[in-house]
Structure 1
Amino acid sequence: MKRRYAATLAALAAGTLLAACGGGGPGGGGGKVSDDKVVLGVLTDLSAIYADLAGPNSVVAVEMAVADYQKKYGDKAVAETVEVVKADHQNKPEIANTQAKEMYERRKVDALFDVPTSSAALAVQTVAGQAKKLYFNTGAATTELAGKTCNPYTYEWAYDAYMLANGTGTAVTAQGGKTWYTIYPDYAFGQDMQKKFQAAVTGAGGQITASDPTPFPSDNYSTFLLKAKGMNPKPQVLGALQAGGDLANVAKQYDQFKLKDAGISLAIGLLFDTDIKAIGPDKLAGTMFTTAWFWNLDDEAQIWADRFKEKTGVRPTFVQAADYSAATQYLEAVQKAGTDKAEDVSKILNGMKFNDFFARNATIRAEDHRVTHDAYLAKVKDPAQASESEDFTELVETIPADKAFAPPSPECSMG
């Protein structure tokens, strides 16, 4: 019997499954896993503002993890067949809810990955709890996933709003940016970011003198930027808490309206290489930000990033790297448990310590399923110092895992 690796390459509207064959040999599946296969689902933004930072290349990252798992274990792999399926949530919680149910119930997905957009992630978390199937969030930043909405089936893998604010908000304030005007997208991610930046800036001795929610998504931020210029006294810092395409629009219009010339510096809550590329590294050079990972952090990171670029033509974002990490650790847990039953896999994962090219000094906290790992205070590199066209990031400081994330929330109950 030949071992098969099946990867779904169909778009959301097409319900087809295309199978790609891998190495051969007698299988070890034989009833150990549900439906004699393990199915990994990537629920993501395939075509809109978060498609570059996650999207189709997140699917590639999960496919890479599956291929590496089967190459490592060969005939000893627990699952005779591993499939990867994908769907587009369009950054809408109601669609994410429907797609998650479809993937868990009809497409027999055992574990979901990715899910940028916090409102969509919260919807998926609810479905995962109802279905009693695993969900590994890599794309959404809301701390509620490991807080008041936590459940035994959801793992918060890559980053969250506390990590971002604790790094950037604290550092920028400590460097003299004492008064802030923040703008944030008016949904779960932005609302949580605003709260966490408020706490970080205040804790560092600064003050957010004004803040405004902005439409999501949006291509026009002129009202808010002109407000910043007209404030008396002017804020020293504009805190832009958008992400993806929205952030690119804010940054370009910040430059267009010459806020820097007015003495208002730009602080960014969440920044990806794809954003830097879209905005222009020359326009962002020196901008401080906090990140979960970057592709040339060290040799181990770059080796994987080189493999990824061979397949996609671009360097990975930290969400895509986290998808590979989460899928790999999930499959390793399935291998150790000898089954894909969610409760048994969780017994392996809960409390586990690990290191991989993405997560350094990592622990999967049993109390709230938050994965703590080292984070990085960084700044956008001067293009003149870049080693290649996608070399955007300069490390400023490593934030140790025990400092990067908040302690377990008392609002989280796994009961």
Structure 2
Amino acid sequence: MTIDRRTLLKTAAAGASAAALPWSGAARAQGAANTIKIGVLNDQSGLYRDISGPTSVACVRQAIQDLAGRGNLNVEVISADHQNKPDVGSNIARQWFDRDGVDVIVDVPTSSVALAVAGVVREKNKVYLNSTAATADLTGSACSPNTVHWTYDTYMLAKSTGGAMVKAGGDTWFFLTADYAFGHALERDTANFVRNAGGRVVGQVRTPFPGTTDFSSFLVQAQASRAKVIGLANAGGDTINCVKQAAEFGITRRGTKLAALLMFINDVHGMGLQTAQGLVCTETFYWDLNDRTRAFTNKVRGGLGGNMPAMSHAGCYASVLHYLKAAADMGAQAAKASGTDAVARMKAMPTDDDCFGQGRIREDGRKIHPAYLFEVKKPEESKGPWDYYKLLQTTAADEAFRPVAEGGCPLVRS
């Protein structure tokens, strides 16, 4: 397949008239026994909407289209907004399983919600494909035989972005940390890498989540610490606001570096290159990384309403694609009967998709693939819409994530 990069750059920001729809063929006549129901549970209206939301739903639908006709499956998709609240998320999950016949839950940003949903999925013996929560506990102390954690986690982000900053001379850190499970885990993991590399953590402040928009007082505390690096242990709208307000205060002009420990291309788009230029971040997918990522983007972009797929969206696509391959091989009824068996089949099969290439799922549920350290381009370096990253370094798949023996997952054999 020939990918026209110039065409992608020119049209990436354009919307489309219709989204991809789940396929529905002769298998529907066989009834509910062969119908797999997927629930996309995420932030549809809050600060994580652009990195999850409707774009995740569109990517799940694309995966279903790409597996159309395989295994005589019929697949339906529903979605809901968990409002970044663990009680809301777990209640929706329970209702989906008990009343609506959902077999698989996908996406689920916000680590506190992700951990709550994981417990419900295990109780009901369903399948949980998490793409957008970052806590490494999902494959550590809170691991489950029903969970696959696909895209990224706090350990990988800390190792790639945090480790690179220390090597570049940023040996004193102050953390601005979102006050919930994700922020705590990202600060913890990054601080460990900083200290192991000979650096120091000189301070931290916990910012209320959700709802904080004014980070000025927190940034003043960070600047007063004289740390060389301010680590942003947050995501989505929080990261955007922190970077914008730091620029307004001239913090980076005085030599302090900002480490965006979890940043997405959609965040860069929201900030603009003038503000985001020079920021370093880690992603496991970038639309312009290679021919396969461009091919995926070319397929899905028409249904995104002007958004572009980030690694979180790519993880929704790839995880559902792999699950459906496993379900087709074992049969819909068997896949529906036991989430544990379906996840075991996913782990036994090598993964391969246009977003992440070839990979595998470890016994702790961690999906393994490379991690890429990017620097945001200067405005004059960008050749068109969404041409925002230049690659600095690649961490190989077997080195990017926490060693399986160090996570404390009960599923791992000693």
* TM-score (norm: length of structure 2): 0.89
Task: Map 1:357-376; keep pairs closer than 5 Å.
Answer: 357-366=354-363, 368-376=364-372
User: For the Cα contact (< 8 Å) 1:306–1:315, is it kept in 2?
Assistant: no
User: For the Cα contact (< 8 Å) 1:288–1:378, is it kept in 2?
Assistant: yes
Distance in 1 between residues matched to 2:392 and 2:319, nearest whole Å: 26
- Match for 2:188 among 188, 191, 195? 195
Distance in 1 between residues matched to 2:358 and 2:396, nearest whole Å: 8
Structure 2 residue aligned with 1:66: 64
Structure 2 residue aligned with 1:241: 233
- Quick one: which amino acid aligns to residue 99 of structure 2? R
Deviations 1:316-370 (A, max 9, x none): 111111100001000000011113232332232124322322223411002x111
Structure 2 CA distance for partners of 1:35 and 1:209, relative to 1, 3 Å: same
Structure 1 residue aligned with 2:92: 99
Structure 1 residue aligned with 2:400: 404
Would you say 1:89 and 2:82 are equivalent positions?
Answer: yes
- Match for 1:347 among 344, 349, 359? 344
Deviations 1:359-391 (A, max 9, x none): 23411002x111111110111112212221111
User: For the Cα contact (< 8 Å) 2:22–2:76, is it kept in 1?
Assistant: no
Structure 1 residue aligned with 2:322: 329
Deviations 1:125-154 (A, max 9, x none): 000011100000001000111011111101
Provide the identity percentage. Answer: 36
Structure 2 CA distance for partners of 1:310 and 1:21, relative to 1, 3 Å: closer
Superposed displacement of residue 252, structure 1: 0.8
Structure 2 residue aligned with 1:36: 34
Structure 1 residue aligned with 2:273: 281
Distance in 1 between residues matched to 2:374 and 2:199, nearest whole Å: 21
Distance in 1 between residues matched to 2:375 and 2:165, nearest whole Å: 11
Task: Map 1:149-298; keep pairs closer than 5 Å.
Answer: 149-217=142-210, 218-231=212-225, 234-298=226-290
User: For the Cα contact (< 8 Å) 1:183–1:240, is it kept in 2?
Assistant: yes
Match of 1:116, SS state, is coil
- Quick one: which amino acid aligns to residue 306 of structure 1? N
Would you say 1:384 and 2:380 are equivalent positions?
Answer: yes
Superposed displacement of residue 279, structure 1: 1.2
Superposed displacement of residue 241, structure 1: 1.3
Match of 1:112, SS state, is strand
Deviations 1:65-118 (A, max 9, x none): 111111xxx2x5332x21001011000001001011111221111111000000
Match of 1:77, SS state, is helix
Distance in 2 between residues matched to 1:93 and 1:69, nearest whole Å: 32
Distance in 2 between residues matched to 1:129 and 1:78, nearest whole Å: 27
Distance in 1 between residues matched to 2:259 and 2:347, nearest whole Å: 35
User: For the Cα contact (< 8 Å) 2:71–2:331, is it kept in 1?
Assistant: no
Structure 2 residue aligned with 1:138: 131
Distance in 2 between residues matched to 1:55 and 1:236, nearest whole Å: 35
Superposed displacement of residue 28, structure 1: 8.7
Distance in 1 between residues matched to 2:23 and 2:340, nearest whole Å: 29
Distance in 2 between residues matched to 1:371 and 1:316, nearest whole Å: 19
Distance in 1 between residues matched to 2:165 and 2:231, nearest whole Å: 10
Superposed displacement of residue 24, structure 1: 4.3
Structure 2 CA distance for partners of 1:404 and 1:22, relative to 1, 3 Å: closer
- Quick one: which amino acid aligns to residue 118 of structure 1? S
Question: How many aligned positions are there?
Answer: 386
Match of 2:90, SS state, is helix
Match of 2:152, SS state, is coil
Structure 2 residue aligned with 1:4: none
User: For the Cα contact (< 8 Å) 2:203–2:222, is it kept in 1?
Assistant: no
Q: Which runs of 5+ in 1 are unaligned?
A: 1-18
- Match for 1:51 among 49, 52, 55? 49
- Quick one: which amino acid aligns to residue 127 of structure 2? L
Distance in 1 between residues matched to 2:153 and 2:25, nearest whole Å: 41
Distance in 1 between residues matched to 2:111 and 2:375, nearest whole Å: 25
Structure 2 residue aligned with 1:110: 103
Higher helix share: 2
Please identify, of 55-64 and 356-365, the stretch whose mean Cα deviation from structure 2 is larger. Answer: 356-365
Q: Which runs of 5+ in 2 are unaligned?
A: 1-19
Superposed displacement of residue 229, structure 1: 2.5
Structure 1 residue aligned with 2:297: 305
- Quick one: which amino acid aligns to residue 221 of structure 1? F
Superposed displacement of residue 20, structure 1: 6.4
User: For the Cα contact (< 8 Å) 2:86–2:113, is it kept in 1?
Assistant: yes
Structure 1 residue aligned with 2:410: 413
Superposed displacement of residue 30, structure 1: 4.4
Cα RMSD of the aligned pairs, angstroms, is 1.8
Structure 2 CA distance for partners of 1:314 and 1:306, relative to 1, 3 Å: farther
